[in-house]
Amino acid sequence: MVLEKKVLLERMTSKQVQEAVKESNGIVIIPVGAVENHGPALPLNTDTLYTEHVVRRAAAEVGVVVAPIVPWGNTEQQMGFAGTIHIKNQTLIELVKDIGRSLARHGFDKIVVVNGHGGNIAPLDIACEELKYETGALLCNIAVWELEKVPKPAGAPEIDAHGGSQEASTDLAISPEDVDMESAVKGELLVDWPAGAVPWPRCSGRVGAISIFATSDEISEYGIFGDPAFASAERGQKVLDAWTRVLVDFLQQLKQGEITLRRAQPST
């Protein structure tokens, strides 16, 4: 595929990567997903699916490089459900730092981490910060689901997040054969959450005035929070298009040199 030769690092030769560093103005994307429970209807790789989809589309449009996706993350909160693969925060930090170090050594001086899973926010922030200080590269950590907010369908639950209608919709748009809508169930909080608290399992990266650490199976029968019954492929495509559009805008600004950092001058 033309896409693979133009943007996918692993499909290039070493010489092509050298050329791509120049053509991309030093921009490389490290996408990070997760393998975790998303309820009876959705596949374990939901976060990986939409992250990779959006990143590849945006990279192809702008002309930047995409590293192979990191498919694992901090998913301890979902380990009560079979199939979830969890790696420790420190493991994820060091893995992303090793990938970033390698890319920086070959000339990529603008490293954009695009994350598709809430539990990865904190470790990826740490990885990006430490990579910046170590390599001098410009580092970004982007939560793909925060790029644009698409209104929920009428009637959808107030809390419609993990495993709910939006993620079901993106799955239906990308990989409908992996979605079992006949098995879809509504996920509800089974505990009373105090005002100001994060309204789903607290894990590193989710910020609220009150943090209560809990696993998904402690507060939800199915480990999901929302209702996939309100999903549709059409809505999923709107969500994916919106996320891609915002990411494209950002990458274009970065590639054109509109986003720069002033080099600090040593104090005298």
Q: What is the DSSP string of 241-267?
A: HHHHHHHHHHHHHHHTT-S--PPPPPP
- Higher-pLDDT residue of 266, 81: 81
Alpha carbon distance 178, 175 (integer Å): 6
- Higher-pLDDT residue of 212, 41: 41
- Higher-pLDDT residue of 194, 136: 136
The pTM (predicted TM-score) of the whole model is 0.93
pLDDT at residue 13 above 60? Answer: yes
Instruction: Check residue 158 and report its DSSP letter.
Output: S
pLDDT at residue 38 above 80? Answer: yes
Average pLDDT, the chain: 92
Q: What is the pLDDT of residue 159?
A: 83
Confidence of residue 5 (pLDDT cuts 50, 70, 90): low
257: left (phi over 0), alpha (psi -120 to 50) or beta: left
Which residue, 166, 181, 172, is CA-closest to 233?
172
pLDDT at residue 195 above 80? Answer: no
Instruction: Check residue 193 and report its DSSP letter.
Output: P
Contacts of 267 (CB under 8 A, 6+ apart): none
Contacts of 22 (CB under 8 A, 6+ apart): none
Alpha carbon distance 224, 216 (integer Å): 7
pLDDT, mean of residues 17-33: 97
Q: What is the pLDDT of residue 261?
A: 83
**Under CATH, which number does the domain 2-255 receive?**
3.40.50.10310
Express each pLDDT in 87-138 by its tens digit: 999 999 999 999 999 999 999 999 999 999 999 999 999 999 999 999 999 9
pLDDT at residue 1 above 50? Answer: no
Under 8 Å between Cβ of 70 and 33: yes
pLDDT at residue 84 above 80? Answer: yes
Alpha carbon distance 174, 157 (integer Å): 23
Q: CA torsion angle for 236, 240, 242, 243 (degrees, to 10)?
A: 140
